[in-house]
């Protein structure tokens, strides 16, 4: 019986404890890193039926966001443009481009172009675009520098804590109403932004709710 456990067995219990701690720490780190929209959603860049280039249309041609997303100020839902909106120009501009085949097909058949949705909140979140863009929250705050994107991708995590960051401290993100759709605008930095934000909050009587029922109904 005396020789059943060798001398090395004396060190086994602390080794097991250290091993479990290492595995535990790595598991926690892995979940914290991967089980969040910062990993699962950010960077999603699906292939669209038409390779629409926002940088060309917004920065190159100077089109306003609302030329296509025309109800963003009036509706909770920011619409994808109708085929007619595209065809206003594209019956004449690049009318034969193979990249626009899906658009021409839609124009002829009346079937919508099947764009792939990039930003999609869970169905139990009721986000209202008009409530935000009419109170000085720019497209930029959620969608990033779309004016420079050749292909649109998911820029921000849209997690609940991320929403609350702004709902609790809007002064860091608000901008003057006339700059909401101006994605190339450089926001002031540091204290200047906070001072401007506080002023805008006072002027616009902005009081973002952090009540559950604001977004979950």
Partner 1 sequence: MRTFLLLVSCLVFAIVSVTGLRGTKTMRSPIEIFPDMVRQAKVKEQAPSYFFSDQRASRYPVPGTVPTTDPVDLPYLNTGTIGDYWGDGIPIPVTGETLKTGRERFEIFCSACHGSTGSGNGIATQYGLVGVPNYHSEHTRQMPDGQIFFVITHGQGLMLGYGANLSPEERWAVVAYIRALQLSQNAALSDVPIAERQRLEGK
Residues within the interface to partner 1 (CB under 8 A): 15, 18-19, 22-23, 26, 30, 33-35, 37-47, 61-64, 66-67, 70-71, 77, 79-80, 82, 84-85, 87-89, 91-94, 112, 117, 122-124, 153-154
> Could you give the CA distance from residue 175 to residue 197 in angstroms, rounded to a whole number?
7
Cβ-based nearer residue to partner 1, 47 or 205: 47
> Could you give the CA distance from residue 196 to residue 147 in angstroms, rounded to a whole number?
24
Least distance from C-beta 207 to partner 1, angstroms? 25
> Could you give the CA distance from residue 184 to residue 144 in angstroms, rounded to a whole number?
10
Q: Around 203, how many Cα atoms within 13 Å sit in the side-chain half-sphere?
A: 14
> Could you give the CA distance from residue 153 to residue 148 in angstroms, rounded to a whole number?
11
Cα–Cα distances (Å) from 58 to 34, 55, 66, 113, 146, in that order, read 34, 5, 11, 21, 8
Least distance from C-beta 12 to partner 1, angstroms? 10
Q: Are 77 and 184 in contact (CB under 8 A)?
A: no
Least distance from C-beta 75 to partner 1, angstroms? 8
Cβ-based nearer residue to partner 1, 157 or 204: 157
Least distance from C-beta 34 to partner 1, angstroms? 6
Cβ-based nearer residue to partner 1, 66 or 167: 66
Read out DSSP for 137-163?
--HHHHH-SGGG-SS----S---HHHH
Cβ-based nearer residue to partner 1, 151 or 193: 151
Least distance from C-beta 95 to partner 1, angstroms? 8
Cβ-based nearer residue to partner 1, 11 or 211: 11
């Amino acid at each position: 019986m005396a020789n059943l456990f060798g001398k090395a067995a004396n060190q086994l219990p602390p080794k097991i404890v250290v091993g479990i701690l290492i595995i535990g720490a790595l598991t926690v780190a892995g979940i914290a890193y991967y089980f969040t929209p910062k990993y699962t959603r950010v960077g999603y860049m699906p292939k669209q039926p038409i390779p629409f280039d926002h940088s060309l249309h917004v920065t190159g041609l100077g089109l306003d966001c609302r030329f296509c997303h025309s109800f963003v100020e009036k509706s909770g839902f920011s619409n994808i443009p109708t085929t007619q909106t595209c065809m206003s120009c594209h019956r004449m501009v690049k009318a034969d481009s193979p990249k626009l085949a899906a658009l021409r097909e839609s124009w002829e058949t009346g079937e919508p172009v099947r764009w792939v949705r990039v930003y999609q909140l869970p169905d139990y979140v009721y986000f209202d675009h008009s409530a935000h863009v009419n109170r000085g929250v720019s497209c930029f705050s959620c969608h990033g520098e779309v004016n420079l994107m050749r292909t649109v991708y998911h820029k921000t995590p849209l997690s609940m804590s991320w929403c609350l960051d702004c709902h609790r401290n809007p002064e860091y993100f608000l901008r003057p109403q006339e700059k909401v759709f101006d994605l190339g605008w450089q926001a002031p930095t540091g204290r200047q932004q906070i001072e401007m934000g506080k002023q805008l909050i006072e002027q616009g009587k902005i009081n973002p709710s952090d009540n559950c029922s604001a977004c979950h109904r």
